[in-house]
Structure 1
Amino acid sequence: MTIYSVRSWCIYLSMILVIAACSKEDQAPPKTTIAAAEFTPQSNAAAAVPVSWYQLEFKLIRETPGFSPPVAARALAYTGVALHEAVVWSDRYGHSLSGQLNGLSNVPRPEWGKRYNWELAANSAMADIIRNLYPNASAANQALITALDSTNKAAASGSCGADEINRSVNFGKQVAAAIYTWSTTDGGKDGYLNNFPTDYVPPVGPAFWVPTPPAFQRAMLPYWGNNRLMVRPASLETAGIAHPAFSTDTASAFYKAAYFVYNKVNTLTPEETTIARYWADGGGTFTPPGHMLAITAQLITDNGLSLTEAAKLFAQAGIGENDAAIVCWKYKYKYNLLRPVTYIQTYIAAGWNSLIGTPPFPSYTSGHATFTSAAGNILADYFGSGFSFTDNQKVAEGFTPRAFNGFQQMIDEASISRVYGGIHYQFDSQVGAQTGRDIALRVLALRY
């Protein structure tokens, strides 16, 4: 990538930034009680800073080797936590996630009585955490990180004095360093380097997963379910909800579930085919978690959320996606259920193939359903369950925007898309959506 193209990309992002006067907000005290007169309301345009970073992060997910859906979800989550902790002290009612998230403590606080520009703090924190979370990004994309950091800093500095600029930037860096250090202890730090560990030996038997067409790859991230959840469960994680018992009897629930997939793929309507392809989000895309965070960014921009509101919502959605990946992958490798293509080719129709490629990990439960339900329920909590919106995220890929009358409609469509695609049983999606909702409720129970 040339210097010109780096600058052009950053100019494109900076067009959404509004250069505002320097924010002169005093630091909130440790106990979030302070007279209203001591605060200056933030401009809603300040949310453009984190949105610009997420737009770059979606590009990084697409182009950086190893960022499969769980790895991407993890990076998006730590980005959101760093953002939240960098700006939470600008909100008199805000609560740090330190002491609430699993293993997170001693996150830096601003100096009492000092003035901070929270846009600068947010920008600095996001620049540093993203550099650390994508260490294998290409040189061109590393240059984009540096350029966006500089562009946002110039736009947000306004009339700030040098002391306030340095103090704000350094605080963001301190927060990012603390969040990154915490991230290194969760079990997933080097996941991007080892998506397909060679030491994993899958169980053998007619009900168990085997590599699937078209690539017949090894099992992806079989140990991801052992990673640390960000939100402590109210009780020890249960074994999950069991799927219908494996059977080849044509009268059994399992056979009927597989036959439903077989028949559905063979009789798809044009709209069902579009839905399957729209939600595919496979290799080389921003992945299902990235799709959810892209919708979050779009809604933040469309609805003019403030910096603190945006930070809260980005953090919630990211935490939900991270924990959705861990719980879903835990169940995938607990049950190790074979994919529909394996069952159908063996017991129903040897020449049958799914509409979209089957990903390289077990079927139960559905990652798409879990990811979309976790984020969708979090977004519904903020905007309202009946909030109508249009997802514009796939226009560049040739898709027409998809309009929804509420977040549950989005969850249902993304969940059934995997059945239309021929890669999941209906019960995979149904239980995945239930799991995602349970995760969302845990995330929403925290104080932000």
Structure 2
Amino acid sequence: MKTKYIFFGAIMVLILANSCEKDIPQYTEFKSYAYTNNDENGGSWVPVLLDGATAIDIAAPEATTSTEYLAELADIKSKMDNIDGNQRRSVEYWTNNAVVRWNEIALELIAKYNLIPGPNDDDSYTLPNPNTPDGPPGFPFSHPPYASRALAYLSVAQFDGLISAWHYKYQYNRPAPYQLDETINYAYEPNDIPSYPSDGAVLARVSRNVLSTMFPLEVEYLEKMEQEHLQSLLLSGGNVQSDIDAGVIIANTVSEIALERAANDGMKNAQAPKAVSDSIKAAAFERFGWQWENLELPVRPVGLTPLFGKVKMWSIDDVESVRPIPPPPLDSQEYRDDVEILKNYADNMTEERRAIANFWQDGLGTYTPPGHWNRFANEFIVESKMNPLRSARTMAYMNMAIMDAGISCWDAKYYYHYPRPIQTIPGFRTIAGTPNFPSYTSGHSVFSAAASEVLAYIFPEKAGLVRGWAEEAAISRVYGGIHWTFDATVGTDQGRNVAQFTIDVAKLDGAD
């Protein structure tokens, strides 16, 4: 099929004061805020994995006049009277929207483990193994596909857990401790959302459970963070212990369902052995007459996650249904034209283009392209003063779309197995390294376009802004010499197409 490839026009330069720094870790600077909306009907929203909000049974709480509840109230008042400096700082840190905080912790872990395993003394490679997480090398290597999946499971579990919590909050309608006892000075901006079950407890336990599975070497750290979070719920004056216990029940059930899906989604087979990788490569050569070659020294025997394209998607049944058009043949005029475009960029590199390429690099030791868009979403959530439930919804749909987009992208990468510019242009050099997987389509482009479309749906006032960022992320890979322009343009269309499936799901969940 002969296709006209449209190149990007003017690309806006991304300038976001205090919101786009990519130092790791760097937590969002925000304090407790008054929610724009309490979403009283949130318990009627449609979950992603649960069979409705009532799939988890939570018993009615004790009456606020009961001996049991009054004892709980006295207990938190005693704890608050004896709070120390570290505890006070912990309460301030967790704020009243821990969706953002746990997402930031996930980004920190992704960056920490985004380190490619090095070669052994004999130039062979040992890949991270979840069965022996201590390694060497340590598990995981949190590359972009792994990061997108970790963030998706974390966000979906949080979202489903909070839908269930919201249902019971408004069914039982038990006020928060500070609303019942005026001597309790609530640490955050007050609201009239019922306290039972505790949404904070749902987030603390779900996040610990999911992230401990994704990052097994961090179990002790995550347990510590969970305990600090749970303690802060008591010390803030927002919850009594029975609120927290009920939230933990919801969280454990949701986590189990989410992690069962994860265990059977095909990710364990994504990093295929060499024989499988070679067969994929041979099939592409037979089909198209080209194949991507790894140009690293020493050469890695297998590309990164050749079978990630087979992983179960969230909103799409058949990955082939969203596979993009073929790239131009290597003897076509379209290809030759693109060679000249890349040579021209390389020979006339400007400071602006170099800055754009570097800004969007998101390579080893960073929170990856999916993490970059999670950072933006965190900023928008705080700016819009979303409550935890609506925040979790934002993150769930964005990360579902990002993961689906990544699966679609990796399907295209290994189906087409298209060479990178450095392989086919004699003497060509990049300014940002060369990833260990085929060129077409661009992962940055697909991830970014998918994320930007979901953010444009949720924050329509920012639609032009985020779509411009996605186009800048895409062209950055061309400026860097890592990708062809059609990798970026077709990848952007691909990401937008995939995201629409997630948006269609979101439009039917009852939240709009």
Same fold (TM over 0.5): yes
Aligned partners of 1:154, 1:161: CA distance in 2, in Å?
A: 10
Aligned partners of 1:366, 1:304: CA distance in 2, in Å?
A: 34
> What is aligned with 2:243?
164
> What is aligned with 2:324?
240
Shift of 1:159: 5.0
> What is aligned with 1:88?
163
> What is aligned with 1:337?
418
> What is aligned with 1:212?
295
Shift of 1:142: 3.3
Shift of 1:230: 0.9
- Kept after mapping to 1: 8 A contact 2:412/2:441: yes
Q: 1:372 aligns with which of 448, 468, 482?
A: 448
1:181 aligns with 2:257: no
1:68 aligns with 2:150: no
Summarize the Cα distance change of 1:197–1:74 in structure 2 as closer, same or farther, 3 Å threshold: farther
Q: 1:225 aligns with which of 297, 305, 309?
A: 309
Q: 1:444 aligns with which of 491, 494, 503?
A: 503
Q: Residues 358-388 of structure 1, C-alpha deviation per residue, up to 9 Å, x if partnerless?
A: 101111001000000000111011111545x
Structure 2: gaps of 5 or more residues: 1-25, 45-50, 55-93, 114-139, 174-195
> What is aligned with 2:188?
none
Corresponding letter in the other structure for 2:372: H
Write out aligned runs for 1:27-176 (5 A): 28=43, 48-64=97-113, 65-91=140-166, 113=172, 115-135=196-216, 137=217, 141-157=218-234, 158-176=237-255
Summarize the Cα distance change of 1:430–1:215 in structure 2 as closer, same or farther, 3 Å threshold: farther
Write out aligned runs for 1:346-425 (5 A): 350=427, 352-384=428-460, 386=462, 406-425=465-484
> What is aligned with 2:335?
254
**2:425 counterpart SS class:** helix
**1:445 counterpart SS class:** helix
Shift of 1:131: 0.9
Summarize the Cα distance change of 1:47–1:164 in structure 2 as closer, same or farther, 3 Å threshold: closer
Summarize the Cα distance change of 1:306–1:425 in structure 2 as closer, same or farther, 3 Å threshold: same
**1:211 counterpart SS class:** coil
- Kept after mapping to 1: 8 A contact 2:30/2:382: no
- Kept after mapping to 2: 8 A contact 1:47/1:301: no
How many residue pairs are counted as aligned between the two chains? 376
Aligned partners of 1:333, 1:147: CA distance in 2, in Å?
A: 41
- Kept after mapping to 1: 8 A contact 2:322/2:498: no
Aligned partners of 1:273, 1:15: CA distance in 2, in Å?
A: 29
Aligned partners of 1:274, 1:264: CA distance in 2, in Å?
A: 13
TM-score, normalisation: structure 2: 0.67
> What is aligned with 1:282?
363
Corresponding letter in the other structure for 2:495: G
Summarize the Cα distance change of 1:437–1:142 in structure 2 as closer, same or farther, 3 Å threshold: same
Q: Residues 278-301 of structure 1, C-alpha deviation per residue, up to 9 Å, x if partnerless?
A: 111112211111111111112212
- Kept after mapping to 1: 8 A contact 2:165/2:250: no
Q: CA RMSD in A?
A: 3.1
Aligned partners of 1:130, 1:110: CA distance in 2, in Å?
A: 26
Aligned partners of 1:183, 1:234: CA distance in 2, in Å?
A: 18
Aligned partners of 1:406, 1:26: CA distance in 2, in Å?
A: 30
Q: 2:485 aligns with which of 417, 420, 426?
A: 426
Shift of 1:124: 1.5
Shift of 1:325: 0.9
- Kept after mapping to 2: 8 A contact 1:124/1:170: no
Aligned partners of 1:278, 1:14: CA distance in 2, in Å?
A: 19
Same amino acid, percent of matched pairs: 25
Corresponding letter in the other structure for 2:233: A
Aligned partners of 1:195, 1:384: CA distance in 2, in Å?
A: 40
Summarize the Cα distance change of 1:152–1:433 in structure 2 as closer, same or farther, 3 Å threshold: same
**2:478 counterpart SS class:** helix
Larger Rg: 2
**2:267 counterpart SS class:** coil
Shift of 1:46: 6.1
Aligned partners of 1:110, 1:187: CA distance in 2, in Å?
A: 36
Shift of 1:14: 11
Aligned partners of 1:329, 1:235: CA distance in 2, in Å?
A: 10
- Kept after mapping to 1: 8 A contact 2:353/2:476: yes
**1:229 counterpart SS class:** coil
**2:354 counterpart SS class:** helix
> What is aligned with 2:193?
none
Aligned partners of 2:269, 2:226: CA distance in 1, in Å?
A: 25
Structure 1: gaps of 5 or more residues: 1-11, 34-44, 93-108, 388-404
